[in-house]
Structures are given as C-alpha cells and as structure tokens.
Structure 1
Amino acid sequence: MKTDEADIGLLESSDGGMPALPVSEVFGPTIQGEGPYAGRSAWFVRLGGCNLSCSWCDSPYTWDAQRFDLRREIPMTPVEEVIAGVASSSLVVVTGGEPLLHQNRPAWRALCTGLRARGCTLQIETNGTIVPNSTTRGLVQTFVVSPKLANAGAHRGNVDPALRTGWVEVAKSGHAHLKVVCTSADDVAGVVDIARTTGWPLSQVWVMPEGTTAQELNGRWRAIADAAAQAGINATHRLHILAWQDRRGH
C-alpha cells in the first residue's frame, strides 16, 4: 500500500452532507517553530494520513494504524468546525501527516476557502511528493516543502520520498521554501545538491536539526548551522521544542 488512504476511508461516516476531513488536532495560539516563518504567532490544523513513514516522525498518530487507533486519533471533522477553531486574520499552518493527500476532495477546497475568507494567511507543510493542483495554488500563500533524506529510513510500500519536479515552478514564483531535516553536515550538503540540481532558489532553502528534545537539537545545531552558513542557505531551529518539549498542542 503506497498511502494509508484506505485507512482514512474506514473513518468516513455520515456527516449530514457537511464537508469533513480527518483531523488530528486544531490548536493555537502558538508560534511557528520552524522555517521561514519561525517565531510568528500561528494556529495549526493537523490533518491525518501520510504516504511516507519516516523513522523519526513526530506525529505518527496521524497515519500509523499499526500503533494507533486512527478512528480515535483522526476523526472525520466538519470543515466548519475546523475553521471556527482558529482565530480570524491569523497565520494558519495546515500540516499532517501529508495534507495534500486531501487536495482533490471538496472538503479541502472548503477548508482553504473558508480560512481565506476569515482573513487568514494560509501555509501548507508538505513532504514534496505531491504537487499542488490549481485550486491549492490559488488559495495557499506559502508552501513549506520537506523532502526526506536517507536519515528518514525506508518508507512503507517502497514509496519514493524524492521531491517531485513540479515543485520548482512553485518555488520560482516565490511561494515555496524547502525545509529539510538534517542530522549532519553531510545531510546539509545533500540538501544543497537537491536545490542546485532542481534549480530551487538557495534563498528559499532551510535546514534544521532532527530531534524532539532540546538536548538532541542542540547537539546537532552547531554543525548544521555552520554547514548552512558556508553553503549560503538558511538554518532554522525548532523553537516549539525548546519552549514546550514534544508536547502535542504546541
């Protein structure tokens, strides 16, 4: 199985005709802890389902049916309820899992349209294996794209985690940033190679240390920051981990 859409399908139930999506959590106000918007006040909408299975994933409860009860973890939730759960005119980060698994559903359009109608700035966090369709590109201001390196391990179903070529067009329009998890300076070099090979603007490339504790992050931070500085790309810490550890809802 290349994705867990079958697992998500089991969650579908009668919702009175209201558009709904599998939602793990909606939370805020908090801060965006990573990438080009790090430090900004934000609200998060975390959707269920992912087509990858990173060994260090910090939200396996959104996709791993072997370890978690997905009916409980990512219940089908009316889009109106999700939209009402965030503050108007805020930065809203839609993440997962892999949120773009849902972009061809009417509920996805309803979610993005409803958030924009409330004056929200919409940011999508994605693994880069699914290119946004025209509807998504028209509604989302910023994409943060996180292709997975070898440090993420093998993925179920032999899914290829490589960045899809269609993303470069989005990046060149100024609406997409790479944000890649690294464990070493060698990983940073690999990210630079991806950017140069694809033509991704280096000013829109970010690397960050892997880890879910301050000790892990800080242990890798200097090497990664040094390598990023030498390569002329950006480095980002994980500020939410420093503030709240790996607690859900932050």
Structure 2
Amino acid sequence: MIAEHFGPTLQGEGPSIGQPALFIRLSRCNLSCTWCDTPYTWDTARFDLRQQSERVLVTNLVSWALDHPVTLIVVTGGEPLLQQRHLAALAEPLLQAGRRMEIETNGTVAPDPALLMDGLRFNVSPKLANSGLPANLRIKAAVLETLSAAGQAVFKFVARDMADLDEIAELAERFAMKQVWVMPEGVTTERVLGHAQLLAEAVISRGWSLSLRLHVLLWGDERGR
C-alpha cells in the first residue's frame, strides 16, 4: 500500500540532501510521533487510510521510476519496512538499471537480509523522547545493532534542544553509529531555522553533521514535494 509517489523533486534530508530524487511513500506506521509530518499514512483518528492510500503493483512502480532519468529513488513512509517483503522486488530491477535507493526507516523493524544489497542505503531515524513515545516502543536494540553493523546505514535524528543532543550521543555510543546527522524539527521555515541555529555549534563540536529540511525551506508543508 502506498500513500503517494512523486517527483522528480529534491531529497530534503540527510547525506543526499539537494540531490534530484523520486519518492515512493508507503502507507502505515508502527509509531505515532507527536510531531509527525505525514500523519495521513497512519493516523486513523484523523484520516481514512482507505482514501489516503492505494495498492500499486511493484512492476508499475519500477516502470514509473525508470521512465525518469533521476538516479535516486527514496522509499519512505510511514514505516517502509512494515512492507519489506515487496521492497527487494522493487530494489533489484532499479539497482540493476543503475539507480540508487534509500529506505527511510525508524529503526524498529529489522531489514530482511535480502534487502542488504549493494546500492541500497538505510536512512535510520530512531525516535527520541521528544517524539512523545516510551523508549520500549521507539528503541529496539537488536534492530539498531543489525543496521549499524550492516555498514549500509546512516543515522539521522530529529532534534529540538541540547537535551536531545545528549540523548543522541548516548545512542550513538551504545550502537556504534558511525554516521550521525542531526535534523532540526519543524514544518515551517522559521521553526526549522530556529532549531538549526540553536543546535549548530553543538553539533559541530560533537563531530556530527547537520541536515536542514530543504523541502520545508523551499515548499513549506506542501504534500508531494
């Protein structure tokens, strides 16, 4: 089930920020973060998910992606690994055609070994206490250990303040996270930049990377961008 697919646009977050990309957004999520900017993928209290999603054949998504010259395909959600039995079939023909794929995941669902293929990267975004969720729901040690050890993951965290950075540091050390990106929370330019300015010097001092939310700065909270 997908919520939408769109592009070409720009990857707005993480190591590929600013690069042309196609997006495939899968429906459903196993978490419910208070600041989530895609509640239409999971929040049944506010949305009719039957109207917000549709079944699309994997072969149709492959054809759609290959019709564009864009080489980066981002699979996001929701939580994509809830539907991972379909992702290998999506990834294989795209990677064979010279495309790259990034899967955005919250780090609570272990990837199938079949997904650990060359050319595919996991952008893992473990949720902090600022998500409003208890630690036992948002931090799954075995999953984070697997993703960290696989060598195909970068870790990006939504942060608001210095306490969030301390929490990130504990997780980075505990799970041997080699690539850490901090992303300021917000769905408006003012909020994103405000948090970024607050956190930037501390992020630099810790040796991490800072990722703005480029799509928010360019298009606000507009869906499909």
TM-score category, normalised to shorter length? over 0.9
- The aligned residue for residue 220 of structure 2 is 245
Listed as ranges, the matches of 1:84-163 within 5 Å are: 84-86=63-65, 87-88=68-69, 90-103=71-84, 105=85, 107-138=86-117, 141-154=120-133, 160-163=137-140
Q: SS in structure 1 opposite 2:3?
A: strand
Q: Which residue of 2 aligns with 1:208?
A: 183
Distance 2:115 2:104 in 1: 13
Instruction: From 158, 167, 170, give the equivalent of 1:190.
Output: 167
Verify: 1:225 aligned to 2:200, yes or no. Answer: yes
Structure 1 distance, partners of 2:92, 2:130, is: 36
| Structure 1 residue ranges (4+ consecutive) displaced by more than 6 angstroms after TM superposition | none
Distance 1:177 1:82 in 2: 25
Stretches of structure 2 that go unaligned for 5 or more consecutive residues are none
CA contact (8 A) 1:144 1:176 kept: yes
Counterpart Cα distance in 2 of 1:116 and 1:80: 14
> Retained in 2: the 8 A contact 1:31–1:39?
yes
Distance 1:206 1:163, change over 3 A: farther
Give distance in 1, aligned partners of 2:166 and 2:21: 31
**Contact 1:113–1:139 at 8 Å: present in 2 too?**
no
Aligned length: 223
Q: Supply the AA of the counterpart residue of 2:202.
A: A
Q: Distance in 2 between matches of 1:115 and 1:41?
A: 16
CA shift, 1:75, in A, is 1.0
**2-side partners of 1:70 and 1:139: how far apart?**
33
Q: Secondary structure at the match of 1:122?
A: strand
Q: Which is worse superposed, 115-124 or 24-33?
A: 115-124
For the residue of structure 1 that corresponds to 2:130, the secondary structure is helix
TM-score, length basis structure 2: 0.92
In 1, the alpha carbon distance for the partners of 2:219 and 2:91 equals 28
C-alpha spacing 1:159/1:172, structure 2 compared with 1 (3 Å): closer
- Partner amino acid for 1:177? V
Distance in structure 2 (CA, Å) of the matches to 1:205 and 1:100: 21
Show the counterpart of 2:55.
76
RMSD: 1.8
Is 1:180 aligned to 2:157, yes or no? Answer: yes
Per-residue CA shift, 1:191-235, capped at 9, x if unaligned? Answer: 11110122222xx00011100000111111112111111111111
Letter in structure 2 aligned against 1:100: L
CA shift for structure 1 position 172: 4.2
Residue 73 of structure 1: how far off its partner (Å): 0.8
Structure 2 counterpart SS, 1:165: helix
